[in-house]
Amino acid sequence: MNTTIFDEVISEPTLYGLYDQITNTGMWSIGRVSKKRNYHAFPGHIIKEHTGEVRNPLLCGFFGGIVEQLRQRYYETYGGFLPTELYRIHLGAKNPTSYTEMHTDTEKKGVSIVGFLTPEWKPEWGGKLQIENNFVDYIPSRFVIFDTNKMHDGEGPSTECPYWRISVNIILVNKDER
């Protein structure tokens, strides 16, 4: 699959409300890393784990609805289907000191969906998503779909900005990959 981008997936008022909800709760784990090494951690939150455990039913339902919207848009645009099983949903937040490495999300065959959830963002703040040798600008309410085996990394803000760079990472796999 080629990298696919859908803009304006979440309305602006909903995006502001979502950002406020997820940044004003105690659900964050501040010690997450992209690989099992000692790099500067970034806050994260597991909504649905690959084991099937749902830690936040409200957000799991919300992002499940977003997945269905993306399935419909993908079908209408490309005439194809996205994988059927919702494998995992995680949130990540980065600031200028956050560091992660290029990584893949799982060895299972499927797609990764990365959605940009910060409601305001200026290009000079950086925060691009790198997928192999390609870069995708961080634009609020943009969702990017790519194969799970593609190396990728989300950059933290390149300068001070008044917001956390928050994204959601959703993984869909084919039923036989569970």
Overall number of domains in the chain: 1
Find the mean pLDDT for residues 159-170. 92
How far apart, in whole angstroms, are the C-alpha atoms of residue 169 and residue 87?
A: 11
Query: Which tens digits make up the pLDDT trace of 27-39?
Result: 776 555 555 554 5
pLDDT digits (tens, 9 = 90+) for 36-91: 554 545 578 889 999 999 999 999 999 999 999 999 999 999 999 999 999 999 99
User: What's 10's domain CATH number?
Assistant: 2.60.120.620
The pLDDT assigned to 75 comes to 97
Q: What is the mean pLDDT of residues 107-123?
A: 96
Distance in angstroms (rounded) separating the CA atoms of residues 21 and 140: 16
Given a contact cutoff of 8 angstroms between Cβ atoms, the answer to whether 138 and 131 are in contact is no
- Domain range spanning residue 9? 4-177
Check if the beta carbon of residue 68 is closer than 8 Å to that of residue 61: no
Using a cut of 0.85, tell me whether the model's pTM lies above it. Answer: yes
pLDDT of residue 10: 98
Amino acid at 109: K
Query: Cα separation of 47 and 37, whole Å?
Result: 23
pLDDT of 167 reads 96
39 within 8 A of 98, measured Cβ to Cβ: no
CA dihedral 118, 122, 125, 126 (to 10 degrees): 80
- At residue 3, does pLDDT exceed 90? yes
* C-alpha distances in Å from residue 63, one per residue of 20, 48, 103, 166: 16, 10, 23, 14
- Mean pLDDT over 10-29 rounds to 89
Give the up-direction half-sphere exposure of residue 19: CA atoms within 13 A in the CB hemisphere: 23
Q: How far is CA 169 from CA 26, 63, 79, 152, 162, in A?
A: 19, 10, 24, 12, 22
pLDDT at 178 over 60: no
Q: Residue 172 burial by CB count (10 A; 0-12/13-18/19+): exposed, middle or buried?
A: buried
